[in-house]
Amino acid sequence: MDPETIMDSLSKELNVAIKAMAKAKDVNEKEVYSRIVKNLCDSLGVFFDLASEIMGLDSGDDLESENLPF
């Protein structure tokens, strides 16, 4: 499955869970939604960490080894 599609789906679910948590009246219900939000955030974090690592590999270190005129 496409990582971008997964991230979009997780983001949408996160938005739904946050809205549901805001509407919850009972403390136990709010706790359940807070756990859902935390799990969704952790899941999104995996993709953000991966993207960060991939971008870090392409941080321009190659430019130092090349003899560029600028």
Examine residue 63 and state whether it is found in any structural domain, yes or no.
Answer: no
Output the DSSP codes for the chain.
Answer: --HHHHHHHHHHHHHHHHHHHHH--SHHHHHHHHHHHHHHHHHHHHHHHHHHHHHHHTSSHHHHHS----
Residue 66 lies in a domain: no
Q: Please check whether residue 60 lies inside any domain of the structure.
A: no
The answer as to whether 65 is a domain residue is: no
How many independent structural domains does the chain possess? 1
**Which pLDDT value is given to residue 53?**
86
Does a structural domain hold residue 40? Answer: yes
Residue 50 located in a structural domain: yes
In a domain, 49, yes or no: yes
Cβ contact 60:27 at 8 Å: no
* Domain extent for 45: 3-55
Amino acid at 13: E
User: How far is it, in rounded angstroms, from Cα 66 to Cα 70?
Assistant: 11
Domain membership flag for residue 67? no
The mean pLDDT of 31-55, rounded to a whole number, is 92
Share of the chain above pLDDT 90, in %: 59
Structure tokens at 22: 């805001």
